[in-house]
Amino acid sequence: MKRQNETHVIRLKPGMDLKKSIQEYVNKNYIQAGWIVTCVGSLTKYNIRFANQSTLSSDTGHFEIVGLTGTLSVNGSHLHISISDSLGRTIGGHLSENNIIYTTAEIVIESSDAFLFKRMKDGSTPWEELQIEKK
């Protein structure tokens, strides 16, 4: 019998793309309803979209991942990240592709077979928003 909830633990290595690697794991393991429990690590490049902005902000250097949160699904994922620089200044926003791992990213994902996550336009916003189906 398949478990209701499952815990997934992955470690990304230097040079890997944070968002692409997470989505590849989600697709490979056919996660239909998942969420980030925790993530710690570091980046040499960030590429994020700040609140209510249409363009991405990018920089290179050394950044600590101090938070990652979001919903995951083979039907589309939505992730936000917080990072800090060497002086502790912290920024955050919508995670895009091209966030490159510096030393590691240690990620814990929880998933549930009780739900199905989809992303669709529902008229409440101009974007594809989370639609939750109970199985």
Q: When comparing pLDDT for 4 and 95, which is higher?
A: 95
Query: Is residue 1 over pLDDT 60?
Result: no
- For residue 130, what are its two tokens? 């989370």
Instruction: Show me where the domains of the chain are located.
Output: 5-134
**Is the pTM value of this prediction over 0.85?**
yes
Query: Is residue 127 over pLDDT 80?
Result: yes
- Domain 5-134 belongs to what architecture? 2-Layer Sandwich (3.30)
Neighbours of 18 (CB within 10 A): 27
Say what the pLDDT of residue 103 is.
98
